[in-house]
Every structure is written in C-alpha cells, then in structure tokens.
Structure 1
C-alpha cells in the first residue's frame, strides 16, 4: 500500500487535507431529513491553518440548535488517548520493529526518521504503523498545518461553548486497533511503499484539497476511490465497515435525537458506501449544502 492508498484511509481516519484559503472555503456538508429528524454531516479535515476560520455562519446555527454533536471519537484531546496509543503500539515482548522490516526498508526508515527528527530507534519496541503515522504527521506539520486547527476540534470547541453534548461513534482504542490490523496485513510492503512516497504528500493532496474547497463531492469521492487502488481490504476496514456500524448507531442509539450534527472524516460522507448513501437507502432525503 503506497502513500496514495495510505492517504485514502487517512482521509477516513485522520482526514489529512491541507487547507489554507479561507476566503474560498466551501467544504463538504450534507443535510439529511426523515420523519422530522434532521442530520447535518460535515466531511472533516483534521489538520488546517488558523486562517481557515470562521466556517460559514449557517454551520454554527445548525450546531447550536442540534441535540448532539457526533464525532468519530468523542474525547479528541483526552490524555487517556495518548496512553491508549502507547499501549496499542507496543510490540509483543521480545519482538523489535527491525524484526518486521527488511534491510532496505530499515535503511529508508532510518534516513527519513533522522531527516524529520523522529529516529527509528525510538520505535524499536513499537508497531511499524506507529512510526509511519508519526512520520506522516511530522511531514504535515512541516508543511505548516496543525491538528489543533482541525474541523472536528473546531466544532467540538463550539459545542462546548453552546452547551451541546458531544458523543462519538467509536473509541480511540478501536481506531488504533484498525491501524494495527491494516499494517499486520503486510508490514514490509505497507511500510516501505508508504515511506517511499512520503515526500510527495503535498503534491498528492493538491487535488483532494481543491475538491474539498470547491464542495466537489463527486470528484473527491473519485479521488478517494483511486487512492485505495487495489486495496479493497483496506477500504473495507477503514471506511465501509465503519460506515455500516455508524449507520446502525444512528438507527438505534441516536434515533430519538431530533437534530444531529456529525463531523467525521471526509471519506465517510462521499462516494459508494458512504454515510450519505446509507442514509438515502434508509429513506432519508439528502441535500448537499454549499
């Protein structure tokens, strides 16, 4: 799985998209209605620059009148998440990251780690996915984008300001388990190909960025679909299965909420098997808001 495919599932989980042109920002927003229930869906990007805000006025009014804000994980800045990450990223006792990678990949990882100030040696007893995740985020930050300016964090801050309850579709541990599942499919191939294409992050993301800014849901869905390439299993784990589980929660746990505001990775609200498609199949009327 090269970086294009890596970006595909990051769009679902971490939502890596680089946004800085606030005046041109439109975003990916949907409104679903059925039997008096209204659901707003925002396709989130989780790293941005401060000049991306404010968002359109109507989004704040919609949030303010909602019964709940639903994120992928409710407690985005919870310190316990770091402990979970540390726990889940540990390799079994007696195993090292070097045992899972070939010599060529170790050299590549060592060189890139040193370049970004994240030595591979620091991850000696950790899962390869934790190294790749940290290195990818380092590249994002190097480009000038910060996770604290992500749309999910922005709206969660507004929800607290408005006194709106915040809930989540899943836990941090569930997300880390998914990362672990992806990388255990083939440590060497996934890590090597991801590292080889790491420096092309900015270039690979240009089209995704523009699609988001233009509110072009169809093009964004096409790009994300291409990013998975032949990694159908990755797409199933990171997007499709999760969308199904989230839809079940909307149909059961949240069915009595009159108005819901959802902020999840953009990959979850566009294209085949997305939440918008599942809601439509469930009888909701769907409208993209621009």
Structure 2
C-alpha cells in the first residue's frame, strides 16, 4: 500500500508517571525476636498520583492504589551477600493509598548495616543475578490501560542503604523507572482508517539510539549500578499495538505503552507512523 501523510488525523500524545514519587515508611517490630520488617507503603494525597491498580481519571491523570494480590520483590545486600525474597501485601487502607508488607530478614544478616532494594512490576528480579530488574517484554503489545496493568508493564523501585540491623527503622522512596505513554489518534476524515496493526513514534534526526527496551526481548536495569544494561540495543522508535484495526470516521483510538528513558539521552522530534503487518501505511505530516 502506498505510504501517505496524515493531515486528517489529530494526534494527542500524553506521558504519565515520568517523575512521580511515593514516600514509604519502613518500620521494624521486635527485630531481635521476630526479625521481621513491616513495610508500610504510602501513596500521596496530591500531585501526580500513582497506584498499582491503574485507572485513568477525568483530568487525564493516572491513579494508583494497592490491591490485595500485590507483591514486592526485595533484594538484601550486605558486602558480597545478596538474597532475593518476596513479600505479599498484608493490610491495605480503605482508600487504597497505604499498604503493609511483612518482610523476614535473611538469617545471614545478623549484625552491621545492609541495603534493601524493592521492586514492583515487569519481570521482577532476575533469578541468576537478582541485582537486575527485568523490564517489561514487548511493552508496545499492551493495547489498553487494562493490558498495562495485567501485564505489569511498569516498574516501581526503591533503595535504602546503611540500614542498621540493630535499629532498622528507615524511610524509603518509591520511584518510577520509566514512563507510561498514551496516544489518542482521531480520524477527522469522512472515510475510515483501516488495517491498523500498530503505531510508531519515530525519531526525526538525532543518532537513532534513544528508544530503549523497544525490541522483542526485555532489557534489564541494574539496581547496584543504577544503570540500564545493553544500551547499545536502543533504536529509533517505540511502538504501540492497536486494540482495533479500524478507526471509523470521526472516531478515535487509544494506544498505551511503557518505556524507560535513557539518562543523558535527549529524545528527538517524533513523527507518528501507522503500520499494517509489514509496512508503514501513513505518516504524520508534522513532528513534535
């Protein structure tokens, strides 16, 4: 099919969760007897909101609340010792903004300081190297916000260093490792847009190495170094799957996807392309 431009299509691109934080309290009850940490994770009352159950609000923010099935993957680090564990949610407040997790200290940590990392979402911590967070695989395949939630296509994490075994009372900060993208494509023409399989945001200019975790496999983030690994795999576009292959005249369709930005990489101007199974069938006439 011949490639064409899209003067008839209105495009709205929104980015959520790029710089939101949650403050969490890490408390200990009778550490010498039970050696159990109680992690209380709190959601903010104002500003950009975050939650593990995703829902789009009327004001175009994304709300997050804890759910009864939520689990955190944790990494204890002390010198050369590393141990991965998991904690299920214990108690959730009525508004869903605060949850508690009981965490058992590893038996190998008996004295001194240690560092605790926590991760929610995506593939969790790698089995062979638990310092690596497995990012969402094929994040562009989520065709709705519900898909993003079901697939856990987002990553929240925290790091708390120099925790004293004798008095492990600290405050931790959850951070977003990437951003959630929403593209709204509206067909303002009198005819339908058909055979849409995916849309791509493609870089215009630049070195073509800004789009990370956009290939078929999931990439990783190292908690200890604070770096994304295999950055050489970065490409020049991020993709989004279509929930429907046809956009009727004067109708619109939404695309969702989660992608992490590489540090010190400036995103270029972006153009939008519509794709069928193998070919770009339409391209926006302007870039953003």
Whether the TM-score (by the shorter chain) exceeds 0.5 is no
Q: Which has the higher helix share?
A: 1
Larger Rg: 2
TM-score (norm 1): 0.30
Ranked by relative contact order (alpha carbons within 8 Å, sequence separation 6 or more), the top structure is 1
